[in-house]
Amino acid sequence: MASVRALTPPRPASGVYHRTMTAPVKALLPPLWMGLLVSGCLVPVSSDTGSSATTSTTSATTSTTSATSTTSTSTTSGTPSTSSASETQACSFLDCEDTPPPSPAECNVWYQDCPDGTKCMAWADDGGTSWNATMCSPIDPNPVGPGEVCKVEEGPTSGIDNCDAHSMCWNVDQDTLEGACHAFCTGTSAENATCDPGFYCLINSDSVLILCYPRCFPLLQDCPADELCIPSGDTFICRQDASGDFGTYGDPCEYANTCNAGLYCLNPEFIEGCQAVGCCTPFCDTSEPLMCPGATQECIPWYDEGDAPDGYEDVGICGIPQ
């Protein structure tokens, strides 16, 4: 059986992608910064401009099966690669008083070309929910590193946090303003971006956001309790769980991270009785083909034969063959 392959890749302008974007299956979720809400919740799939808090849908197909997803994810996204910083205050993490706003100088997140004691950070220069610019932001005197709990100043897109010079506070809770530090990708551009082993570099269309995400295995859902293992590019990474009270098999969905752990949002033609833009359906093991919940569903391979990364050869998704 042919694998589930995306008919249309997430639009790079509003989506996050990892360099070549050659993944055979790209369902609804745009590579991550496309529709990221400031709360770090939803992950959208397509958009034409900038990174914002929404995601559209992606379609997947095979020679014998075609799948189209409408899932998105929510997290915050950013667009332009550099821009000037205008009105920002940074005192919460610096124990300062009446500190003037950061310098309006532009900076490059790849080269980290800010003055000593500052780092180049993505932020929303219009006070919105999408990272659309960069600025030189003060480094906290007692910073925390990748994987540690962090806190942002004022809001998720302020560009001010207490992560170290090589990371950014991500998946920020809008109420507590706490998240986890994610390391910046290393390299000089999307063409040579790298992360530590076990991590995957996600880049928004204009390289405002360049963050390393932990890889995961969808059949095990081996992410932290509040995250999901869902596809991005040619691999699977941990993303924030935004399913809430919904997300079981057959539930309508519009974002990649709004189904429960172990399920994913696919186009309606793959799920029996689905009357929405997309519905949740489970990942499956192609070596155990009879595990799908739908009477007419089969376990469709996620990757084309020979394309699966080591250990991912049996990953499939339950869908009605087309």
Instruction: Answer yes or no: is pLDDT of 23 > 70.
Output: no
What is the pLDDT, as a whole number, of residue 225?
A: 84
More confident residue, 46 or 311: 311
Using the predicted structure, report yes or no on whether residue 34 has a pLDDT greater than 60. no
Question: Residue 179: which pLDDT band, with cuts at 50, 70 and 90?
Answer: very high
pLDDT score at 316: 96
> Rounded to an integer, what distance in angstroms lies between the CA atom of residue 311 and that of residue 226?
24
Rounded-to-5 percentages of helix, strand, coil across the chain: 0, 30, 70
- Give the percent of the chain with pLDDT over 70: 67
pTM: 0.67
Confidence of residue 148 (pLDDT cuts 50, 70, 90): very high
What local confidence, expressed as pLDDT, does residue 204 receive? 79
Q: Are strands 16-17 and 58-61 parallel, antiparallel or unpaired?
A: unpaired
Name the pLDDT band for 3 (thresholds 50, 70, 90): low
Average per-residue pLDDT for the chain: 74
Query: Rounded to the nearest 5 degrees, what angle is found at the Cα of 308, between the Cα atoms of 75 and 42?
Result: 10
Between the alpha carbon of residue 8 and those of residues 36, 147, 317, the distances in Å are: 20, 33, 18
pLDDT in tens, 193-246: 999 999 999 997 578 999 999 999 999 999 988 899 999 888 999 988 999 888
